[in-house]
Structure 1
């Protein structure tokens, strides 16, 4: 009997966690406790892979791939001022004002989310190291009907220095992943490197 086919049908629970320290050749990365973003609308991830082919004897004989950066775009219902400060390196003052400075530097973060599948299961993902860029802003006046104007933010993710890992995933249909899934959004999973 063939396994039941599970197809992605939805997106839920986008979280981020700042990379606090580590991620050197000898020091494991340390992340803060993950924080949720407002309800998820979209998550698009595009790995940039460089590919080259070696030719010999008048034809191709070997091809090799190398992962470059990973482009990420997420859409959420809204980004609070606190979330913008966290993700973009801006400052909120004592009066609750968000200040954007030309010298602001976005911190490195991990980004986690889960996709709902057609069979009721979930596929969980953490992208392990990246930075977000200032989002474009668009505003449109109401014209007799309500049109939601939700933000999209883009980032560039890379492999980690410590272990070359760039993503970790779990499938709720795999019983071996059950323990990891119960803490998926409370901590970024530890590196497999000893």
Structure 2
């Protein structure tokens, strides 16, 4: 399937036990611009009679790099462990405080992409079970003759959850089906699964 679009970038805090993995209070991270996924594998070869007789390749970890239009203070607080407080001065809004020892939550992350195969559109929804994000780099520049948007990119490490799973994905005939599937996993707007 060829991909032709990317939408609905969401995350949710993970709760793990030996028997179950659940997510609560899913939230939209930002409007999705780009998602890059790279997976690392462990490989082992067994040699015998001067040749390879066994070759095992297993998931080790992965890197998930997300680019969106913005990351709200609430999303940054979840992902990076920063603190959000309301300012008391008139029209001041909120303040984000980042400390050196802040440590964000492990989260599940999902999105869906529009696909096309033999002229038929589909919607490929992807859910990464456990991701840990690091502090994003920023680039700011003054306005010149042309408008150049600066958007944040954040990078996370994809890990195995307590059940040994790192990803689920499904293809749907409708966009609503893909979104509903992700919403049910992330428990969007809910408090528990």
Output aligned runs, 1:74-153, within 5 Å.
74-95=66-87, 96-118=94-116, 119-153=120-154
* Offset at residue 130 of structure 1 (A): 1.2
* Offset at residue 189 of structure 1 (A): 7.1
* Offset at residue 181 of structure 1 (A): 4.0
Name the SS of the counterpart of 2:148 in structure 1.
coil
Question: 1:108-158 CA distances to partner (integer Å, 9 max, x unpaired)?
Answer: 100000010123211001001111100011111122111110110000111
Name the SS of the counterpart of 1:184 in structure 2.
helix
Aligned counterpart, 2:190: none
What TM-score do the two structures reach when normalised by structure 2?
0.85
Aligned counterpart, 1:17: 12
* Offset at residue 52 of structure 1 (A): 2.0
What TM-score do the two structures reach when normalised by structure 1?
0.84
Unmatched runs of 5 consecutive residues or more in structure 1: 1-5
> Which protein, 1 or 2, shows the higher relative CO under an 8 Å CA cutoff with sep ≥ 6?
2
Aligned counterpart, 2:185: 188
Q: CA contact under 8 A between 1:34 and 1:187: conserved in structure 2?
A: no
Residues paired across the two proteins, number: 178
Distance (Å, rounded) in 2 between the aligned partners of 1:38 and 1:144: 27
Name the SS of the counterpart of 1:135 in structure 2.
coil
RMSD over aligned CA atoms reads 2.1
Distance (Å, rounded) in 2 between the aligned partners of 1:189 and 1:76: 19
* Offset at residue 51 of structure 1 (A): 1.1
Alignment match of 1:34 (pick from 21, 26, 44): 26
